[in-house]
Structure 1
Amino acid sequence: MNRSDILKPLSREHHTALVHVKRILEQAAKGEKAVLNYWQQEGAQLQAELADHFSEEESLVEGVQEPLLQRFREEHQALRLLMAAPNAENLQAFAHLLKAHIRFEERELFPCLEAHHYDRLQHNRHQ
């Protein structure tokens, strides 16, 4: 899928996040202790990466009037809440939501932003 230069870095970061999703779900399948151990080792780094990623995305769409952004913002908030309370159930829910959220951004939101709001993205990128 071709992406504009503005969104390419975010799409690359999505790939890295999907690797974590896969690993979290693999560990969750092994049991509560395995997924908690994984989070203990990788969670702080992943939280930091996602905090930066979410912030960058949110800044990029500042001032964009687009109905899809409501879901975008709600899911960012839900992901933040799930990461802030890392038990086995929340981590599994986090992984599933993150996967669905990335799919939503790549298949629906990003194409819409590129087609209808590209000038605003460029403006925000240079702020």
Structure 2
Amino acid sequence: MNAAVFLLLCVGVVLGGEIDPQVIQSWLSTMDPFKDKCMNETHADPLLVEVIMKTGVISTNHEVMCFAKCIFMDVDVMDKDGNVNIDVVVKKGVVVKPGIAEKCINESESEPDLCKKAHDFAMCVVRELVKGD
């Protein structure tokens, strides 16, 4: 399973980007074992979670951002202190290069709310992937 595929799902239709169906399938298989657990822990709206799964759009609803954090923690992208593991993101990622990971870690590192931090990190990666940098 590919831990950083979560970052790639976010590309979806966001910012005019499209995502490879294989990436979506990989994400779904990565997320599936943790979906129910994270929904129960965060009380995320199931409809908004389905939106993530089908379109890649991550709502700014706090519970949904916490759902993203929960998934990140379960797949070792983020630790309990909110530190993003660049090795996991880069080594297990499909197209996330070290420069993108570092930039997005730096952009999101000062956010004290770990749920928002997970959201901001993911959306930064999406933005960078769509730009093609």
Could you say which structure has the greater relative contact order, defined with CA pairs below 8 angstroms and 6 or more residues apart? 1
Pair in the same fold by TM > 0.5: no
When normalised by structure 2's length, the TM-score is 0.37
When normalised by structure 1's length, the TM-score is 0.38
| Larger Cα-atom Rg | 1
